[in-house]
Chain A
Amino acid sequence: MSDLSTDAYWKANVRIITICMVIWALVSFGFGIVLRPLLAGIPIGGTDLGFWFAQQGSMLTFIALVFYYRSYMNKLDAKFGVEE
């Protein structure tokens, strides 16, 4: 593989990692902790949406992120011909 396409592959990888990590931080540190007061108006089962994110939603989002990253990278590997 040429240096040029290695660079392009790595840039694409870092870009998708960055997007995923922003969402990772948003659902846990954001919705679950710091931004919880903003979500206080959305009731859910005797409490608010922020509590749900802290005890359920963040973990479900984490799973979705890891599987999304996996399928994105499988396609990217194939596109750049670096898959096994």
Chain B
Amino acid sequence: MDQFVINLIFVGASFALYIGIAIWARAGSTSDFYAASRGVNPVVNGAATAADWMSAASFISMAGLIAAVGYGNSTFLMGWTGGYVILALLLAPYLRKFGRFTVPDFIGDRFYSQTARLVAVISLLVMSITYVIGQMTGAAVAFSRFLEVDNTTGLFIASAVVFCYAVLGGMKGITYTQLAQYCVLIVAYTIPAVFISLQLTGNPLPQLGLFSTHTASGQPLLQTLNEVLMDLGFNDYTGNHGSTFNMVLFTLSLMIGTAGLPHVIIRFFTVPKVADARTSAGWALVFIALLYTVAPAVGAMARLNIITTLWPQGIEGEPLAFDEKPDWMLNWERTGLLRFEDLNGDGLIQYYNAANPPQRAIDEGWEGNEMVLFNNDILVLANPEIANLPGWVIGLIAAGGLAAALSTAAGLLLAISSAVSHDLIKSIINPGISEKSELLAARISMAFAIALATYLGLNPPGFAAQVVALAFGLAAASLFPAIMMGIFSKKMNSSGAIAGMIVGLGSTILYIFTYLGWFFIPGTNMLPNTPDNWLGAGLGMGISPLSFGAVGAALNFITAFIVMKLTAPVPTEIEELVESIRVPKGAGAAVDH
């Protein structure tokens, strides 16, 4: 059967499943729409959280990022899972006990201030909208490669499907589609990884295969990879070639950024009890780790496979000839994400590190690296083809990539629409609104959010990639400290929290724009984005703009405590509120107010 038809069957069947679930799980009340009536089983919520969290970035990009750098990019693995420990221990149980629908709800009530609520709404909208752009463009890439439709058509199909289940079902529809999407994406990710691990090491578990003996060379896989890479002039895979300080800071920023992302936090409002919120966070981490422990194996094995493809007679032999390129290279060259050029005109692909070509490259008449472009994002999607796996595995990867992008998009769209209908319209503009009108407002704002996301997906700002760093930085520096102080400090008052959020938000935006340009417009950066210009470079501890979220969070905490000391103390009833969210009893009763 034609590969296109197979892809169509897999993607079509998965979409039919999502729409079927949407019709079954329609939302009838605002509690259904915002929090699935708090009736979600904690294990189901764990799987839905995992799908909500694992975006196109986790599914499509992460293994490619690890493959490109090796050890240095372990930051993504530790950062994006470590955040769940923070969530489970420091945030989720108390927010569930508080028992409202949104993150600005908590911040507004705990800090008894509409200003605090508004600052939270603004942070939430900025980070969620920037994040959703990435999901829509990720979905478009998967569509254009696997369904051979152009980006625009692909985006419209994706938006229509999300519209069906998100607008109809709200959180209830999203939860059960996310459960289905988790199953699709984890199967799609794991099957090729198991095949490849078997091919290379004979061990079916990729997590163990990564540290096993490479069958072809008879020595450990990672040792072979290190040797091959160094022969080609690259850094070894397992060594640390970056700044340890920034590695720590970047990991910390990713961890607290993860814990501060509103679309993840609101998932914990859907379970019945505080104890369920703790359980649910544990299961979410298990389901996430199923993919995240496989990803480094996928990265290392794919990197080795690509090199083996480019050097069919072994690394000492002659490289691959241009007219013998396998089909996957031709397929991906058509997408513009992979490019070869015969720079020295000898008909062979010389692939070496351009910055450090080994002597043998020069002896062969080296004119530059002839794999001119290899976009990291194609690694996971092309993985089954690189390893010569059957056509149905490729169809599965297509459905999995789309599941990852759509499930995250739906979660973000819900966070955006509830911030608008619940926090802006119901809490700030028109408190007298009826439940029926609020539900309608939630659906209309969801539809608007989808239209906006589609528009931004069609006309992506050139800076989409950097903006995701901004989203994490903002979550780390604004929402996370405010929520944490709201729970762990009874004395934190409104002035302290607002000042802290503004300083955290402002300093992070300022630092990122200083090095990456105002609103990411090239050429408007005030300092060059190089390590010797970063703050702290003189002390040997330059802070990368991507790692600044942790520093912004620290500034937020410090400012909040100083301002708190200088301003009016917190009212007694707020101290009582904090005492009540610290004990689990009564969360079931705190459902609908």
Contact = CB atoms under 8 A, between A and B. Distances in A.
- Counting chain B CB atoms within 10 Å of each CB, which of A10, A17, A34, A51 scores highest? A51
B476 interface: no
A46 B207 CA distance: 14
B577 to A, nearest CB: 13
Given A20-B89, A32-B78, A36-B240, A46 B71 contact: no
Given A17-B89, A66-B88, A46 B278 contact: no
Most chain A CB within 10 A, of B223, B279, B584, is at B584
Contacts of A9: 582-583
B39 interface: no
A63 to B, nearest CB: 5
Interface of B: 66, 71, 74, 77-78, 81-82, 84-85, 88-90, 93, 207, 210-212, 219-224, 226, 238, 240, 244, 247-248, 251-252, 273-275, 278-279, 281-282, 285-286, 289, 292-293, 296, 488, 579, 582-588
A39 interface: no
B431 to A, nearest CB: 30
A59 B78 contact: yes
A54 B226 CA distance: 17
Contacts of B223: 46-47
Nearest to B201: A45
Given A32-B78, A45-B222, A70-B282, A65 B207 contact: no
Contacts of A82: 583-585
Given A1-B583, A28-B78, A77-B275, A66 B281 contact: yes
Contacts of A52: 211
A45 B247 CA distance: 23
Given A59-B289, A70-B278, A10 B210 contact: no
Contacts of A21: 85, 89
A62 B582 contact: no
Nearest to A1: B583
Interface of A: 1, 6, 9-10, 13-14, 17, 20-21, 24, 28-29, 32-34, 36, 44-48, 51-52, 54-56, 58-60, 62-63, 65-67, 69-70, 73-74, 77, 80-84
Contacts of B296: 55-56
Contacts of A45: 210-212, 220-222
Contact of B85 (A36, A44, A66): A66
A74 B211 contact: no
Given A46-B223, A77-B275, 18 more contacts: A6-B582, A9-B582, A17-B90, A20-B89, A21-B89, A32-B78, A33-B244, A46-B211, A46-B220, A46-B221, A46-B224, A46-B226, A52-B211, A54-B78, A66-B85, A66-B285, A83-B275, A83-B584
A82 B579 CA distance: 13
Q: Which of A29, A46, A69 gathers most chain B CB within 10 Å?
A: A46
A15 to B, nearest CB: 12
A61 to B, nearest CB: 9
B292 A59 contact: yes
A66 B282 contact: yes
B125 to A, nearest CB: 30
B77 A54 contact: yes
15 contacts: A6-B583, A9-B582, A9-B583, A17-B89, A32-B74, A45-B220, A46-B211, A46-B222, A47-B220, A54-B74, A55-B66, A66-B89, A66-B281, A83-B275, A83-B584
Contact of A84 (B82, B247, B582, B585): B585
B153 to A, nearest CB: 38
Contact of B282 (A1, A13, A67): A67
Contacts of B293: 55-56, 59-60
A34 B282 CA distance: 27
A14 to B, nearest CB: 8
Contact of A55 (B74, B89, B278): B74
B87 to A, nearest CB: 9
A69 B222 CA distance: 35
Contacts of A17: 89-90
Nearest to B279: A70
A80 B585 CA distance: 10
A20 B278 CA distance: 14
A84 B71 contact: no
B253 to A, nearest CB: 12
B229 to A, nearest CB: 13
Contacts of A62: 81-82, 84-85, 285, 289
Given A54-B77, A59-B293, A62-B84, A74 B220 contact: no
A62 B90 CA distance: 14
A57 to B, nearest CB: 10
A44 B211 contact: yes
B591 to A, nearest CB: 12
Contact of A33 (B88, B248, B583): B248
Contacts of A77: 275, 584-585
Given A34-B248, A60-B289, A84-B588, A47 B238 contact: yes
